[in-house]
Every structure is written in structure tokens, then in C-alpha cells.
Chain A
Amino acid sequence: MMTDHRAQLVRIASTVFEEQAFMFSDELVQPGEAPAGLLETTMSFAGPRRGRLMMAAPHALALLAAANMLGLEPEEEPAREQAVDALMELLNVICGHLATEIFGTEAVVRMTVPAAQAIEPGRWGELAGGSATARLLVDEQPVLLALELDGG
């Protein structure tokens, strides 16, 4: 039987958004229509099991995260330049904490560096409809997180 990691994902992501980017989260029950300017960040890991973590969010959330992390206003140039980087870093931290919870502190888990790409509303809908997708509302912006684990 597959283990459902949604509750873990929601809890870890909420903590990381709050502690790293000073953004507050609620669980999102209905993701609704795809927002504008969608990004998907992904990274893979290999430990006792291999897997991949994906996070989709609107660019507006990435911009706000960068601004908060840098102590700037979203209109300022460094925040705009580093918006995607900030979103990838948030995924990196979420993935590290998730891997520790799943595999324990004795396991060594190798992670790839995160990647990001723009996505179409169809991909957002696919992720939003996934039975294992964790859904959050972070500072009024929807965020989707999905974990794929091999052999599960």
C-alpha cells in the first residue's frame, strides 16, 4: 500500500515558508483555476529509495518569497531577479527535511540541485487533481506539492 505523505508535506512546507520566507500557510481544499504565470520546480533524490519532489506555484509567490528572504520590496530589482532562485531554494529545504523524516537521520540521501520551468495551466490541473498532491495557500497564493517515490 502506498504511504500518503501529504500531511507531512503540508506541515514541512508550511514551516519552511514561515521560517525561511516569513510567509504563512493554510491547507487549500479546492485549488480552483490555474493562476497566471505558473512555475514548476523539481528535484530528485536517492537514498534508501529514489524519488522526486515537485512544487508548482505562481510567479507572484516566488517574487514575494524572494522579497521577504532578501528584506526587500517585491518591486525591487534583486527580488525580481532572484524570484525563481528563491522558489528553488524553498523546494531544496523542504526536500531535505522531508527526506530526513521519511528515511531517518542515519540514511545518507543524495539530492540533485533544483530546476525550474514555466508550466501551462494543463500541467497545473494535472498536479492539482493528483490524489497524492498536497495543496497549500501561502500568503493567499496557491501552492501544489507532489512527491513521487519509486517502488512505493
Chain B
Amino acid sequence: MAWNVLVADDSATVRAVLVKTFQMVQAPFERVLQAANGREALELIEREPINLLFTDINMPEMDGVELIETMAARGLLERIAVAIVSTEGSATRIERLRELGVRAYLRKPFSPEHLGQVLGQMMGEKS
């Protein structure tokens, strides 16, 4: 299976760190795409064969919650496994996102080992 991953975060630094960490943990991705907010992410999701999405919550234009709610409403969470990568600490909000279909949650700051575990879990579930 060819894995295409999308990273959505308004911080270019965080996107670069995630891409570098994917390389460190030898994630078998064919393509890694990037978006700076939820709207850009949604446009890419509708255009490209994305399998995995790593998204921040706190972003301009369209935040991560709106992005996931829109994906849920359009049935996109059936084909795309989503992980939240955020500083979010609200169990209430995380539970709501899990109910919508989010598979994993990674709190910033995260370690490469933790990201590797989350990746393994998500790719195992999708295979």
C-alpha cells in the first residue's frame, strides 16, 4: 500500500519537525504533503489520495476541530486516519474528536518514539 500523509499545522517549524521525524522513524510514506490551515488541508484531501492526516487544532482560517467536523460530515474519516498533534489538554474536546473518528492524539511537545508508536498504530489499523 502506498501511504500518502498530510501534515496540517500553521507553524512551518512544526511541519518541518514532523517531516523530519517521519524520516527518522523510517515511515514508509510515498508522499508527504503540507497545509498551513484546515482549509488548505481540506482542499488537498479532496484532490489527493491521502491516507493519513496529522493535524494541529489551533490554526487560522479553519481550525483542526472544524476540519475534522467537516471531514466527518463528508464521510472522509472512513478513508483517512486522523491523528491530532496539538498542545490541547482538554479531555472534553479530545473525547468529542475521538467520537467523531479521530484515531490518535499526540500532545506537543512529542518525542520521535511516541510519534513512531502512533504511526505504527494508525498504519496497522488501516492496513
Which A residues have a C-beta under 8 Å from some C-beta of B? 16, 19-20, 66, 69-71, 78, 81-82, 85-86, 88-89, 92-93, 95-97, 99-100, 105-109, 111-113
Closest to B90 in A: A108
Known: A82-B16, A92-B11. Is A109-B90 also a contact (CB below 8 A)?
A: yes
Residues B108 and A20 in contact, CB atoms below 8 Å apart: yes
Q: Is chain B's binding surface mostly helix, strand, loop or mixed?
A: loop
Write 21 A-B pairs (CB below 8 A) sorted by A numbering. Answer: A20-B109, A70-B17, A82-B12, A85-B13, A86-B13, A88-B11, A92-B58, A92-B108, A93-B87, A93-B108, A96-B86, A96-B87, A96-B88, A97-B89, A105-B89, A105-B91, A105-B92, A108-B92, A113-B58, A113-B59, A113-B60
CA distance A99 to B86 in the complex (A): 13
Contact indicator A71/B20 (Cβ below 8 Å) = yes
Q: Are A111 and B90 in contact (CB under 8 A)?
A: no
A89, B14: Cβ atoms under 8 Å?
yes
Which B2-27 residues have C-beta < 8 A from chain A? 10-14, 16-17, 20
B31 beta carbon closer than 8 Å to chain A = no
Instruction: Give Cα distance in the complex from A66 to B26, angstroms.
Output: 23
List, in ascending order, chain A residues with CB within 8 A of B88's CB: 96
A61 to chain B, nearest CB (A): 14
Cβ–Cβ < 8 Å partners of B11 in chain A: 85-86, 88-89, 92
Is B79 interfacial (CB 8 A cutoff)? no
B residues in contact with A106, CB < 8 Å: 90-92
Q: B13 near A82 (CB under 8 angstroms)? A: yes
Q: Does B93 contact A (CB under 8 A)?
A: yes
Q: Hey, which chain B residues are within 8 Å of A19, CB to CB?
A: 109, 111
User: Which residues of chain A are near B12, meaning CB under 8 Å?
Assistant: 81-82, 85
Alpha-carbon distance between A69 and B13 when the two chains are bound, in angstroms = 7
Chain A residue contacts of B90, Cβ below 8 A: 100, 105-109
Which chain B residues lie closer than 8 Å to A16 at the CB level? 109
State in angstroms the CA–CA spacing of A97 and B109 once bound together. Answer: 10
In the assembled complex, which residues on chain A have CB atoms less than 8 Å from the CB atom of B60? 113
* B13 & A111 in contact (Cβ 8 Å cutoff): no
Q: Report which residue of A82, A97, A100, A113 has the largest number of chain B beta carbons within 10 angstroms of its beta carbon.
A: A113
Q: Output the nearest chain B residue to A78 by Cβ-Cβ distance.
A: B16
